[in-house]
Chains A and B, each alone.
Chain A
Amino acid sequence: MTSPPLAVEMRGITKVFPGVIANENVDLEVRAGEIHALLGENGAGKSTLMNILAGLYRQDAGEIRLHGQLAQLHSPSDAIRLGVGMVHQHFKLVDSQTVAENVILGLKRPAFRLDMKRTAREIEELGARYKLAVDPGAYIWQLGVGEQQRVEILKTLYRNADILILDEPTAVLTPQESEELGQTLRRMIQEPATRGHAGNKAVIFITHKLDEVVRFSDRVTVLRGGKVEATIDTAGSSKADLARLMVGRTVVFQVEKPPFQPHVTPEQRQEVLFAVKDLHALNDKGLPALNGVSLEVHAGEILGIAGVAGNGQRELAQSITGLRKVNKGQVLVRCGGIQGKLKEVTNHTPHQIIDDGLSYVPANRLGTGLAGNLPISANLILKDYRKEPLSHGPFLDRTSIGRFAERLIGAFQITTPSAERPVRLLSGGNLQKVILAREITAGKAMLVAVNPTRGLDVGATESVQRTLLEQRAQGAGVLLVSEDLDELLAICDRIAVMYEGRVMGVMPAQDANRDELGLMMAGEHIQPEA
């Protein structure tokens, strides 16, 4: 058999934004019936290229052919009509509407009477065919991220997409969910294309995780600095090869975790910095999210929390930091840092807990951690503005604030021309550096971090992980919630697994392996916690 027909042909695509060339003379070929990975670091131009294919941007030069036909994509509806569906990294769903309502949103058909029962039935059938089970009547806000992603995929399938684009689909998923997604994509490329096109459906997914490229894709196109580095078959290429293509230099895969902490004595090592005892709390919907969680974080230790998203990790972090009401149980914090006294802070206000020296790196950087339109300096003082010398009594000291901001920008290597630029203009890695710089400076060696490296490229991830390890070396206690098992295995001392608001077990990181952790994340008891 000759090679299968091409589903997508992009030739000489160039897209210029003010000050940046996002894509420069990019060629991309995607065959019908293949999973094609688009690999590259943050800012390599992957999303821009796909936004052009999905009709959101218009290329400055170059042409696009879909199934051999020259395509003029002036708007997303053009792309949808021609069978291109895109699942964005940030989902485009209406929270207050049901799954079924979201799926038919924007469709011209039915013209007059909505038959939601029929739509629901169609969605269920589609879900069964692709093993994408969701309840069509459920409201979006009731769903976890994994489920919301399934809705986004169903949305494209319902529109008979022949070319499905996924922008960093696994950034929000657990290993198991990622695996399921991989299987769904496999099933999709076995379905014949609609609209009378030859061949099967095609899938393009954007990622910067090498693992997924190797696990899921048939072929991969690597972008670097807006240009195509190579398009190669995945089989027969190694992760190291791909990494070299992606970053243009050989990268070390894991940050070194020093086995001991030079500044921390064994006695200090035993000291509990903060802890929760039998913690109970509700989620936003008023349902139990934490059902008796007990954990201790010691000085000089990183305690990892593994778990499928939505098993209480977020609520745990919020309960500890005073942002969520605790219904039962205790939160204990060693006030005044390592030498201080352990005291109960259950249901104290966020302000009191900040004063006690507990820092928090929230999952949603721009949503919770920063005020996007305000300058970097204003964001850097968010936790310290009440203290001397940044303010004297009710007045802010602008000179001290400027100095403070410059010092943090230097110390944490935040790349910006000025401390007065709106923080939202920074890249994801620099945003996280702003938050870490602030939290580490404000805190007293106690840190709760939720998915601090999610969505960051290799370089930024490494810098964040290194910062956490530096804190550990200085005797800090870190509670690290992460959905990246490799990260947890690499930098944690102990790993606790959460499932349905309970801790399934805690094990030293050197004894843990992916399979066991995976089973515990699925609710299997391996080693009950005393």
Chain B
Amino acid sequence: MPLTLERRMEPSRTANLLVPILSIVLALAAGGVLLWLAGVNPIETYRAMLHGAFGSAYAISETLVRATPLMLTGLAVSVAFRMLFWNIGAEGQLAMGAFAASGVALFLPKLMPGISAWLLLPLMLVGGFLGGALWALIPAMLKAFLSVNEIITTLMLNYVAILWIQYLYYGPWKDPLGFGFPGTAPFVDAAWLPRLKDTAWLPQLFNTGRLHWGLALAIVAAIVVWLILDRTRWGYEIKIIGENSRAARYAGISIVRNILLVMILSGGLAGLAGFVQVAGISHRLQQGIAVGDGYTAIIIAWLARLNPFGVLVVALLMAALFVGGDQIQISMGLPAAVAGVLQGAILFCVLGGNFFTLYRVRWTSRRAVAQTEVTG
């Protein structure tokens, strides 16, 4: 066989950069074939998607709005994955963050009428963080103290959390003036995250669209996560546990303590995603808060190789796929599932391409084989 595979001594740097890019190109090509089979012009479709995601200031704003919760959940998941704690529960933690932030927004103004946004929004933010963090603490404690498999518990608790917020906005928290529409009453104005177009001192790049300050929160969160992982003792401990938990124990690192702390951070970040959705977009707790961002986050974290800044970039690309996918649904009458197909193709190609960063393919020269025969 002239083709042989060899494990690389170290993952190659060029391959590390080239493989994700080539994977996306390959995925677009494969998706193009599918689109062509479906009877549409792939180039035109891609152009329409690109235009839908980045073609105008409004489109860019929509893409960034879509990217914000994906960035936060992506960070949440990647922090936990660094320690090999498989947090599949970002979806539920997001829902509980939205619940807690909404609770603060709905009930605090009743206790303190005329409360300023400078007090209310930070309290909602803290509420959102704590909502996600405490929800994540349940599987964390089960894992730390009873060794219960966290994949199962985090996944199952998603359903509990989603049904809990549904119960609230269909039941006790339902807006009596909402014409039967499932959702709470709208928040007071002080509980609305300001939009960038309403922020007077910003250059008028964003004079349109729904883009809000949640994006800045996500970027700050990425910087904080990077600082923690790269520059602190805690981050060092997380990496050691992720690489070799026995070595961690041998070095006197408490695994129980780190599971609890990391899940507080991870759940908290996912909770913040819930906070930005209710405070920045819906301005109430309603249907459409938990739309699978907690699961997309897993793909994002993986594609970004758990790098916090990588998460920002990949989340933006994913958001572009979603927004662009919605656009072709409207402009070309294609099913929105096209975006899902492309996502799947990209993930498939990137994970498959990962193989080539670890192995190299070598052509065994015919000469060596010939030589064998001669020597024999």
Interface residue ranges, A against B (CB under 8 Å): 11-12, 17-19, 58-63, 70, 321-323, 349-355, 360, 362, 367-374, 378, 381-383, 385-386, 391, 394-396, 398, 421-422, 425
Task: Give bound CA distance, A398 to B4, whole Å.
Answer: 41
Checking A19, A61, A394, A398 against B9 with a beta-carbon cut-off of 8 angstroms, the contacting residue is A19
Q: Closest CB-CB distance, B366 to chain A, in whole Å?
A: 12
Interface status of B113 (Cβ within 8 A of chain A)? no
Assuming the contacts A63-B372, A382-B240, asked whether A395 and B233 have C-beta atoms less than 8 A apart, the reply is yes
| Inter-chain contacts of A63 with B (CB < 8 A) | 372, 375-376
Task: Give bound CA distance, A367 to B249, whole Å.
Answer: 12
| Inter-chain contacts of A367 with B (CB < 8 A) | 244, 246
**Smallest CB-CB separation from B371: which chain A residue?**
A61
Task: Give bound CA distance, A385 to B239, whole Å.
Answer: 13
**Interface residues on chain B, size class:** 20 to 34
Q: Closest CB-CB distance, B361 to chain A, in whole Å?
A: 13
| Inter-chain contacts of B6 with A (CB < 8 A) | 17-18
Interface status of B253 (Cβ within 8 A of chain A)? yes
A382 near B247 (CB under 8 angstroms)? yes
Checking B233, B236, B244, B375 against A62 with a beta-carbon cut-off of 8 angstroms, the contacting residue is B375
A371 near B254 (CB under 8 angstroms)? no
Interface status of B41 (Cβ within 8 A of chain A)? no
Task: Give bound CA distance, A12 to B364, whole Å.
Answer: 18
8 A Cβ contacts from B356-376 to A = 360, 364, 368, 371-372, 375-376
| Inter-chain contacts of A58 with B (CB < 8 A) | 4
Task: Give bound CA distance, A367 to B251, whole Å.
Answer: 13
| Inter-chain contacts of B249 with A (CB < 8 A) | 323, 350
Interface status of B198 (Cβ within 8 A of chain A)? no
A378 near B236 (CB under 8 angstroms)? yes
Task: Give bound CA distance, A415 to B364, whole Å.
Answer: 32
Task: Give bound CA distance, A360 to B246, whole Å.
Answer: 14
Q: Closest CB-CB distance, A422 to chain B, in whole Å?
A: 7
Task: Give bound CA distance, A350 to B233, whole Å.
Answer: 17
| Inter-chain contacts of B371 with A (CB < 8 A) | 61
| Inter-chain contacts of B251 with A (CB < 8 A) | 350, 354, 382-383
Chain B positions 9 through 51: 1 when the CB is less than 8 Å from some CB of chain A, otherwise 0? 1100000000000000000000000000000000000000000
B233 near A391 (CB under 8 angstroms)? yes
Task: Give bound CA distance, A250 to B92, whole Å.
Answer: 69
8 A Cβ contacts from B232-276 to A = 232-236, 239-240, 243-244, 246-254
Task: Give bound CA distance, A394 to B233, whole Å.
Answer: 6
**Smallest CB-CB separation from A353: which chain B residue?**
B252
Task: Give bound CA distance, A60 to B243, whole Å.
Answer: 35
Q: Closest CB-CB distance, A366 to chain B, in whole Å?
A: 8
Task: Give bound CA distance, A61 to B376, whole Å.
Answer: 10
Assuming the contacts A58-B4, A61-B375, asked whether A373 and B233 have C-beta atoms less than 8 A apart, the reply is no
Checking A60, A349, A362, A398 against B252 with a beta-carbon cut-off of 8 angstroms, the contacting residue is A349
Q: Closest CB-CB distance, A281 to chain B, in whole Å?
A: 16
A372 near B252 (CB under 8 angstroms)? no
| Inter-chain contacts of A362 with B (CB < 8 A) | 250
9 A–B contacts, CB within 8 A, in A order: A17-B6, A61-B372, A63-B375, A350-B251, A360-B250, A367-B244, A368-B246, A395-B233, A396-B236
B240 near A374 (CB under 8 angstroms)? yes
B233 near A369 (CB under 8 angstroms)? no
A351 near B250 (CB under 8 angstroms)? no
A18 near B9 (CB under 8 angstroms)? yes
Task: Give bound CA distance, A18 to B9, whole Å.
Answer: 8
B236 near A371 (CB under 8 angstroms)? no
Chain B positions 203 through 222: 1 when the CB is less than 8 Å from some CB of chain A, otherwise 0? 00000000000000000000
Interface centre among B9, B234, B251 (most CB of A within 10 A): B251
B250 near A374 (CB under 8 angstroms)? no
Task: Give bound CA distance, A382 to B235, whole Å.
Answer: 13
Checking B231, B243, B254 against A395 with a beta-carbon cut-off of 8 angstroms, the contacting residue is B231
**Smallest CB-CB separation from A394: which chain B residue?**
B232
**Smallest CB-CB separation from B362: which chain A residue?**
A18
Assuming the contacts A350-B251, A369-B250, A371-B244, asked whether A11 and B376 have C-beta atoms less than 8 A apart, the reply is yes
Q: Closest CB-CB distance, A70 to chain B, in whole Å?
A: 7
A350 near B244 (CB under 8 angstroms)? no
Assuming the contacts A11-B375, A63-B372, A369-B247, asked whether A374 and B239 have C-beta atoms less than 8 A apart, the reply is yes
| Inter-chain contacts of B375 with A (CB < 8 A) | 11-12, 61-63
Interface centre among A60, A62, A422 (most CB of B within 10 A): A60
| Inter-chain contacts of A371 with B (CB < 8 A) | 239-240, 243-244, 247-248
**Smallest CB-CB separation from B365: which chain A residue?**
A60
| Inter-chain contacts of B246 with A (CB < 8 A) | 367-368
Task: Give bound CA distance, A121 to B113, whole Å.
Answer: 84
**Top 6 A-B pairs ranked by shortest CB distance?**
A351-B252, A371-B243, A350-B252, A371-B244, A63-B376, A382-B251
B254 near A370 (CB under 8 angstroms)? no
A351 near B240 (CB under 8 angstroms)? no
Task: Give bound CA distance, A223 to B4, whole Å.
Answer: 27
Q: Closest CB-CB distance, B25 to chain A, in whole Å?
A: 27
| Inter-chain contacts of A323 with B (CB < 8 A) | 249-250
B232 near A396 (CB under 8 angstroms)? yes
Checking B4, B233, B248, B360 against A396 with a beta-carbon cut-off of 8 angstroms, the contacting residue is B233
Assuming the contacts A354-B251, A396-B236, asked whether A372 and B9 have C-beta atoms less than 8 A apart, the reply is no
A386 near B233 (CB under 8 angstroms)? yes
Q: Closest CB-CB distance, A225 to chain B, in whole Å?
A: 19
A351 near B243 (CB under 8 angstroms)? no
| Inter-chain contacts of A391 with B (CB < 8 A) | 233
| Inter-chain contacts of B8 with A (CB < 8 A) | 18
| Inter-chain contacts of A11 with B (CB < 8 A) | 375-376
| Inter-chain contacts of A372 with B (CB < 8 A) | 243-244
Q: Closest CB-CB distance, B220 to chain A, in whole Å?
A: 18
B250 near A385 (CB under 8 angstroms)? no
| Inter-chain contacts of A382 with B (CB < 8 A) | 240, 247, 251
Q: Closest CB-CB distance, A254 to chain B, in whole Å?
A: 31
Task: Give bound CA distance, A321 to B252, whole Å.
Answer: 10
B376 near A385 (CB under 8 angstroms)? no
B9 near A370 (CB under 8 angstroms)? no
